[in-house]
Amino acid sequence: MDSNDDLYRFSPVTFNDHAGKLWIVTILSLIYTSLIALARAYIKYKMFGFDDVFFTAATVLHLAQAIAVFIGLSNGLGKFNSITTTEQWAISSKCTIASIILSLLALSLAKCSILALIHRIISSKPGKNKMVCVALMMFTGLWGVGSSLAWLVNCRAGTLLTVNNVKQCPDQSARWGVITAIDILTEILTWLLVLHLSWSVNISFARKCQVVTAFSFRIPLIAISSVHLAYSQTYPTSLEPQFAVTNTLICQQVMIAWSLISATMPNLKNFLKSFSIGMGFPVAFDFTMSGSSKAYALQSLRNNRSMNAASATATAHSANWRPDQIVLRDAYYSELPEIANVMSKAFWGDNLFGDLIHPHRNEYPDDVDLYWLRRARVNFWDYRWKWLVAVAKGENGKEVVVGIAQWARLGEGGKRLDLQFYDPRNLLKPLSSVAMMIHAWAKPSRAVDPKEEDIIERAYPHFDSIWSGKRAESWYLEALAVHPDFQGKNVGRQLVQWGLDQAEAERVCASVVSALGKDDFYRKCGFNEQFGTAKDGEGNPLADVDGSNIFWKWPESKDHQRMELKAMELLDTTSFLDLSREVRDMVYDYALEDVKFSNAFTTQTAYSPDILPLLYIHKIISDDLQPRLYQNHAIVIPLQEPSTYATGDWSIVPKIACSKMMKQRSDTLIIEMSQTMVSYYQDSDLEEDEDQDPVEDESFWDSDSRGVNAFPEKLVNDILALKSSLPALKTIKLVFWFGNWTVYCNFWGKHLEKLKATWPEPLLKIELNMFDYIDRDAGDGGENWIEGWYYWAIGRKRVWFQVNNFKWKDHAKGDFRGLAAL
């Protein structure tokens, strides 16, 4: 019976034939690496780097070596020599040599991929770490080339798996020993480099461990390589080398597959993180800080996908990341966690999504994101939906999602957006739905009311019939959310306008279900008809929920467009100033955005066409608006690396990009400084950041002639140089982030006295912001350094002082609700 079964098997495994095992492992190896390559390509779409080039080359070589193994298997590889021919020995020997060389090159490139990723992370940082990374990459490349050459020198390819292989290809054990030793050495050095880099970053111990763990998936390669070495010692002296080499080649397939998989694991950080808060590796070598309503935030640890800051120029009320402009683009799948967080914050106080669906959101704030994330993961694969994000781009070039619009094309017109029925991507939505159901079962949201979580889904059938007849063809705004820090900055209108333009171009209507209190906003956006509500329909679960009016905007007729052109022409003959002041002010109140902060280094005007389009319509309107501009406005100067500024040959004044009007009318000047060091007390490491630059170490800040005096002296002189250009200034505010004993009033006192004496009119405000600060000298009878600032401030007129102590865990989450004043 067994012999008959073997007749139908592709490669039966017997005592003298283990080719079937090698077939299985090689095929599985290709499948796994192909899947990981596809995942990598999808997640890193439009963000490819040299690490991906190395990875691609390694994947191609992996395929090539697998083909060589397949050819060898078809010619006796994995079988006893005694049951195969000498011609097959020669072919399987050549194929084995080819697969060995190709796999060594693939392993080398996979290592280089990891090192290229590390180099990409630290590329913006000066110091020796980049040189070490490049040197290690070159050494790894030489190892790959040298190891390949070792199998081409003094080794006849056609004799490797013959009984005379020891004579024809001598010292095989020694070759493998040297190759494996260097292989293990490079893995250890790469891991130690990651360990060193992560430990030099100012993050918690737990997060350092998470960073290292992301790169520690390569550690098993040491064990696999050792096992491979052990097996490689057996086949040269075996009487059946074609058979004995099977385990060596199986280890080779496992090794190269795991090498490619582990080279991708650090890149999957955002993908893993997006499935759950607390799953995966929610930390990179960069972080984002978000402020509270009482503190200004400065991004002092520079920022890869989740999500993070752009510019360090504004307060928490008007966004920590002051963008020069808002850009609309398609959302990426890897941005869904960030999108979910924006929607969570935007709808936090909403009567439906906040009070009704998430009654426990204040007790479990992190769980609120799960509601939005799970639905986003499913609906993202509905190709009738347009996921549009508004992103702000800061000085460091990093994008942060500040707004999201989900537009859906309803009706027959939406069918053109669907995929063909045979497209495998059609499976993504149902599979994601199942995955999210499992995820919800495994990790239920504690913030939600289980009875009301699906109230929206239950309500839709009661009122979706309204989209019928002439309303069937519509661009429907499923959701609109703007981060609270960016509300009132024209972000929402831009996201809405995209859909209105689409509807206008297709000559169909646009529609939206308005949240409570948002009716006026949608009317201002152009929705000119209210028809129906989401509460309609018998038995609708939303019947008792306030709001939910449905608004519509119909395509404009040509007559309407001609009327608009005529109205613009009238401005040339009828002065806008003929209208009463009250009427003009009503128009301005509606159109004028309240811009409170501008980055002095990047912003020429706070009123761009995106922010205040009314200013650019007509000179009459522009002139009339001038007195209302820059009221209660602050110019922010971010100094993110104080040591570099203190020792550099540049000053602040030439770098200021602000317009003359902005400088003449702004009443507040804010100087935001990153940590003069990250320590909390005198004896700790005084590195400003992770790059080991000696200019930023303890010797710099502890030197009377450099750090502690050079910094305040230069800063005060630069502030005084601005005096003539800031005639309306009422307040000068110095904000120190991570301030500690080096920001001691004795070092700053004489320089600030000079500032007050030379420029006495503005109120001087001093603010220190620390994290988890503990006075380690308390009880020694001496004066606390913060008390020194306090007594210095109260002893002088028109000086204001405040110190804030934040929770470091809130810094990592971008949440400063743990604010406590000392």
pLDDT (tens digit per residue) in 391-420: 987 556 678 899 999 999 998 888 888 777
Per residue in 179-207, pLDDT (tens digit) is 999 999 999 999 998 888 877 765 667 76
Is the model more confident about 498 or about 203? Answer: 498
As a whole number, mean pLDDT of residues 96-121 equals 91
**CATH classification number, 12-275, choose in 3.40.50.970, 1.20.1070.10, 2.60.40.2130, 3.40.50.300:** 1.20.1070.10
Distance of CA 307 to the CA centre of its chain: 4
Domain boundaries, the chain: 12-275, 326-555, 592-821
Share of the chain above pLDDT 90, in %: 29
Lateral strand order in the sheet of 509-513: 326-330, 385-393, 399-410, 474-482, 509-513, 549-553, 529-533
- Classify the C-alpha dihedral 684-690-692-695 as positive or negative: negative
Write out pLDDT tens, residues 330-374: 888 888 999 999 999 999 999 999 999 999 999 999 899 999 999
Where helices occur in 202-332 by DSSP H, the ranges are 205-215, 220-232, 241-244, 246-264, 269-275
CA distances from 610 to 417, 591, 755 (A): 30, 11, 38
User: Is residue 678 a contact partner of residue 773, using CB atoms and an 8 Å limit?
Assistant: no
Q: Where residue 52 falls among pLDDT bands split at 50, 70, 90?
A: confident
- Reduced to 3 states (helix: H, G, I; strand: E, B; else coil), residue 125 is coil
Q: What is the pLDDT of residue 669?
A: 94
pLDDT of 782 reads 54
Q: Contact 735/673 with Cβ under 8 angstroms?
A: yes
At 127, is the pLDDT very low, low, confident or very high (cuts 50, 70, 90)?
low
pLDDT on residue 616 = 64
In the predicted model, what is the mean pLDDT of residues 307-333? Answer: 52
Q: How far is it, in rounded angstroms, from Cα 507 to Cα 214?
A: 51
Q: Return the higher-pLDDT residue of 580 and 778.
A: 580
Identify which has the larger pLDDT, 520 or 561: 520
pLDDT at 721: 92
Q: Which fold has domain 326-555?
A: Aminopeptidase (3.40.630)
Which residues on neighbouring strands pair with residue 405, listed in sequence order? 388, 480
CA distance 54 to 37: 12
**Phi and psi torsions of 681, nearest 5°:** -150, 170
- On the question of pLDDT at 275 being above 50, the answer is no
What is the per-residue DSSP string for 733-791?
Answer: EEEEET--TTS-HHHHHHHHHHHHHHS-SSEEEEEEEEES---TTTTSSS--HHHHHHH
Confidence of residue 701 (pLDDT cuts 50, 70, 90): low
State the average pLDDT for the chain. Answer: 78
Highest mean pLDDT among 341-355, 449-463, 787-801: 341-355
Residue 318: its pLDDT value, please? 38
Q: What is the mean pLDDT of residues 53-69?
A: 94
CA dist 590 and 612 (Å) reads 11
Q: What is the pLDDT of residue 764?
A: 93
Lowest mean pLDDT among 325-329, 473-477, 732-736: 325-329
Record the tokens describing residue 576, joined without a space: 């806008």
Which range, of 94-98, 410-414, 584-588, averages the lowest pLDDT? 584-588
* Confidence at residue 315, expressed as pLDDT on a 0 to 100 scale: 32
